[in-house]
Amino acid sequence: MTHVNTGRRRRATLAAFPTVHRLMRPVLLAALLSLASAAGAAEWQALPMVAPAPADNPTTPEKALLGKMLFFDTRLSSTGTVACASCHNVMEGGDDHRPTSMGVHGQLGGRNAPTVWNAAFLSVQFWDGRAPSLEEQAKGPIVNPSEMGMPKMELAVDRMRRIGGYLPYFRRAFGASATIDADSIARAIAAYERTLITPDSAYDRYARGDKSALSAQQRRGMQAFADVGCTACHSGPNFSGPALPQGTGFFQKFPTYTNNPYVARYRLLDDGGRATVTGKPEDQNLWRVPGLRNLVYTAPYFHNGLVQTLPEAVKVMASTQLDKQLDDAQAADIAAFLESLTGPFPAQSMPQLPPTPGDMLH
């Protein structure tokens, strides 16, 4: 397999941690290089066949079924018109292909909807990493005024309790004495989302030893992906960075290099990223490093959804993150490699939901 040389890895690794105090950078670098050396042959890793789950919320068929019902249920929104599935279409790419998503009353959100596919492999959720788990993420859109628009979570819980047909599903998922509350709703949705993974892509088969799984162009792109320095941030089986404890995010400043035309063209400095959550100047334009799987399904790209094609996204990243200018052939090769990260989606069927009381949405 191809590996990034030590000098290039040193420079790229330091660039990936722009907010670390200068006196601590040598210590951090030594630790990271030691980890990289230990990883060795694990540079290219196949996606696991099962997503990890926390000890307090193991994935079960009953819980995943309930979560799927809630994921598709528009009654969790204030108007009864928007569900998780409205912005995360699991019949296709797990997003909605809008630059920014549309919520209740036709309101547009401020950021592009990330795909829900393989979100189970991220250590934090949302572009700014504000949710430490899928469970916490599941609560956020319900009470976001421009998404599902519930004034408070208790109102969503009360609505689910009024739908009598739901309680048996909650009890099958969480036990005979279970009640419907905010945590059980979120835990069920998270359990369903942990079934939304796409292993066995052409890349995965290649990483497991099938050298015929990638085309010649994809192999060139794989080499270029490493040589250019993309693996400094996009490593691991999900290409979203190193394995970190749940709730610990892997963040990168974007854009890092601003002396290029892409920054103004795609308004890359308009959103403060993580700083909008923490209020810290050092978090300005920091973003959770996204995974790179199934990108052929998730255009347009980046947090604002302004980049429309994958080769263009590759050029933007090379320029803004690595200060490198790629020609069309190099960008096409890397895009071809990224296309090899597309895995088969597990079949999805529409769930049957319990009936709605006649006065619920008045």
How do beta strands 251-253 and 286-288 pair?
Answer: antiparallel
The token duo for 277 is 């959550």
Tell me if 230 is assigned to a ligand binding site.
yes
DSSP 39-81: HGGGGS-PPPSS----TTS---HHHHHHHHHHHH-GGGSTTS-
CB 187 within 8 A of CB 57: yes
With both helix axes pointing from N to C terminus, report the angle between 134-143 and 153-162 in degrees, rounded to the nearest 10. 90
88 is in an annotated binding site: yes
- C-alpha span between 28 and 13 (Å, rounded): 9
- 84 known ligand binder: yes
Distance spanning both ends of the chain, measured CA to CA: 61
105 labeled binding residue? no
User: What is the number of residues in the chain?
Assistant: 362
Pick the catalytic residue: 92, 135, 136, 147?
A: 147
In whole angstroms, what separates CA 144 from the centre of its chain? 19
In whole angstroms, what is the distance from residue 61 CA to residue 160 CA? Answer: 20
Q: Tell me, yes or no, if 147 is annotated catalytic.
A: yes
Q: Any known ligand binding at 233?
A: yes
Distance CA 124, CA 126 (A): 7
Q: Which residues are annotated as a binding site?
A: 84, 87-88, 230, 233-234, 317
Active site residues: 147
Known binding site for heme c: residues? 84, 87-88, 230, 233-234, 317
